Amino acid sequence: MTTPDEPELEQETTPLVRPYVITNGRELLDDNDFSLITLITVSENAPQNGFLDPEKRRLMELCSGGFLSVAEIAGHTHLPVGVVKILLHDLTAEGYLYTRAPIPPAKRVDRQILEEVLNGLQARFG
């Protein structure tokens, strides 16, 4: 509770458009190819004509700067990840976006090989 001397804090409001309206009531498909770390960018051959919803236009603007992960896109748009995945699926299917699997982590190198290289360098260069 605030006293008359204290300023009132702004209350957060809920978004005007519900997620099921943005996705037209669709749910995620079982064979969804998007993980949280899938990288997305605008396709070089993206169609120039066509009407895009405001949410899809926002995704296009975000992705035009380079590769972003699905998680980053969801964070920037403040939309649920499921909604973002549905919108990304639509834009990818229509040719607007290009997806790429993330770069896999490097495999562990055999410790014995590293020790042999180190021993060889120490023997050669002291």
100 with 39: CB under 8 angstroms? yes
* Residue among 2, 46, 59, 56 nearest 24 (CA): 56
- Amino acid 30: pLDDT: 61
- Amino acid 11: pLDDT: 47
Measured CA to CA, the distance from residue 12 to residue 14 in angstroms comes to: 7
Take residue 78 and report the two structure tokens written for it.
Answer: 């403040």
Measured CA to CA, the distance from residue 124 to residue 68 in angstroms comes to: 46
The pTM is what?
0.65
Query: Going from the N-terminus, what domains does the chain have, and what CATH number goes with each?
Result: 19-103 (1.10.10.10)
Q: What is the mean pLDDT, run by run of 10 residues, along the chain of 126 residues?
A: 55 57 69 82 84 88 91 91 89 90 82 92 90
Pairing of strands 68-69, 97-100: unpaired
